[in-house]
């Protein structure tokens, strides 16, 4: 305990000096990302962080920081910084260097004061090292967390964007599928399609797979499921936009589209759908 208190005394006594050194490290050309953050903003962040850190060291001197109240402010502050940095586009190494560059000034400080008592020097060094490592890991963790959050949100947005059901004409709806089909997406497509079938009381649904890059057995199975579900609701399904390569792979894989109407292009499918519901497309005078 005695020694830990000295650590606090040391840190608080030389807070400005540490800050100056630290800022020198972080603001050095090549280190500072002036395109992402202004020097003043960074300085303010560092000053605030150091103040929180010294406060926390004062409140509690133990190494194990995760379970302690005293470190809550430091941690939340650091988490916030890392999150903003991740959003701004900082590199992971740059984010973690925010903490790791603090090592040098503090170690130098310890070196100049503690060398008399080697035992104390070692223990202080260990303490600071553990502390900063943990904080460094925390920055990494929050950095990754916020990145993952971005990915997750984009995935959700993609799901919503990629499954529009369009009404072509009375009783005819179409779903242009774009991108790879997995279980989650198929589920979504299925639900949207079926709801739309009820809403516009469609009798024919066209599933256009022009934008689906590959069709393997799993994707085919998903398509079959959608077709069966639509049929159970009383709507016929037409699959269109099957590219030559896809037709070849499907035959090689042994997937057969028996009992399902397939058309090569969306235009053909629309023509077929119209004839099924009793419309005829005819060419009239151009109004150009």
Partner 1 sequence: MERIPILKMGKFLLVSIQVDMHDRLALTLQDELTARIVEENAKGVLIDISALEMVDSFIGRMLANIATMARILDAETVVVGMQPEVAITMVELGLSLPGVRTALNIEKGMEILNSLLQSETQDGTEGSET
C-beta of 253: minimal distance to partner 1 in Å?
21
Helix or strand or coil: residue 18? helix
User: Radius of gyration (Cα) for the chain, nearest Å?
Assistant: 32
Cβ 212 vs Cβ 181: under 8 Å: yes
User: Around Cβ 248, how many Cβ atoms within 10 Å?
Assistant: 10
**Contact between 76 and partner 1 (CB under 8 A)?**
no
- 38, 195, 245, 265: residue in contact with partner 1 (rule CB under 8 A): 195
d(CA 236, CA 46): 65
> Both tokens of residue 149?
């959050």
**Contact between 182 and partner 1 (CB under 8 A)?**
no
**Contact between 280 and partner 1 (CB under 8 A)?**
no
| DSSP H stretches of helix in 66-182 | 72-88, 92-100, 103-114, 118-161
Which of these segments, 19-27, 129-137, 197-205, 238-246, binds partner 1 (CB under 8 A)? 197-205
**Closer by beta carbon to partner 1, 108 or else 203:** 203
**Contact between 197 and partner 1 (CB under 8 A)?**
yes
**Contact between 203 and partner 1 (CB under 8 A)?**
yes
Give the residue from 147, 134, 19, 129 showing the smallest Cα distance to 82. 147
Task: Collect all residues with Cβ–Cβ distance below 8 Å to 31 and sequence separation of at least 6.
Answer: 25, 94, 97, 101
**Closer by beta carbon to partner 1, 119 or else 259:** 259
Q: Cα–chain-centroid distance for residue 257?
A: 37
C-beta of 272: minimal distance to partner 1 in Å?
13
Do β-strands 261-263 and 166-169 pair in parallel, antiparallel, or remain unpaired?
unpaired
Give me the 49-68 binding string for partner 1, x by CB under 8 A, dash otherwise: --------------------
Which of these segments, 5-13, 19-27, 62-70, 189-197, binds partner 1 (CB under 8 A)? 189-197
**Contact between 202 and partner 1 (CB under 8 A)?**
yes
- Footprint on residues 227-256 left by partner 1 (CB under 8 A): 228-235
Which of these segments, 17-25, 74-82, 194-202, 263-271, binds partner 1 (CB under 8 A)? 194-202
User: Residue numbers of the site for partner 1 (CB under 8 A)?
Assistant: 187, 190-191, 194-195, 197-198, 201-203, 225, 228-235
């Amino acid at each position: 305990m005695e020694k830990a208190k000295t650590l606090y005394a040391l840190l608080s006594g030389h807070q400005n000096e540490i800050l100056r050194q630290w800022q020198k490290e972080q603001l050095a050309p090549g280190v500072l990302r002036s395109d992402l953050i202004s020097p003043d903003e960074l300085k303010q962040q560092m000053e605030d962080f150091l103040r929180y850190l010294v406060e926390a060291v004062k409140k509690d001197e133990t190494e194990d920081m995760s379970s302690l109240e005293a470190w809550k402010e430091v941690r939340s502050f650091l988490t916030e910084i890392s999150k903003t940095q991740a959003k701004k586009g900082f590199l992971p190494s740059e984010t973690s260097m925010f903490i790791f560059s603090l090592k040098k000034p503090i170690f130098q400080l310890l070196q100049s004061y503690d060398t008399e008592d080697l035992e104390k020097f070692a223990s202080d060094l260990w303490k600071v090292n553990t502390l900063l490592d943990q904080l460094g890991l925390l920055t990494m963790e929050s950095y990754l967390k916020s990145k993952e959050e971005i990915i997750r949100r984009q995935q959700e947005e993609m799901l919503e964007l990629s499954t529009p059901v369009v009404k072509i004409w009375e009783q005819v709806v179409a779903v242009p599928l774009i991108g790879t089909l997995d279980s989650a997406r198929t589920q979504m497509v299925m639900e949207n399609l079926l709801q739309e079938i009820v809403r516009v009381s469609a009798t024919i649904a066209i599933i256009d797979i022009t934008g689906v890059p590959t069709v393997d057995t799993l994707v085919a199975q998903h398509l079959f499921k959608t077709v069966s579900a639509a049929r159970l609701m009383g709507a016929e399904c037409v699959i269109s936009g099957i590219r030559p390569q896809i037709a070849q792979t499907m035959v090689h894989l042994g997937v057969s589209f028996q009992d399902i109407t397939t058309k090569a292009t969306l235009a053909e499918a629309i023509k077929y759908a119209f004839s099924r519901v009793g419309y005829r497309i005819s060419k009239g005078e151009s109004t150009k």
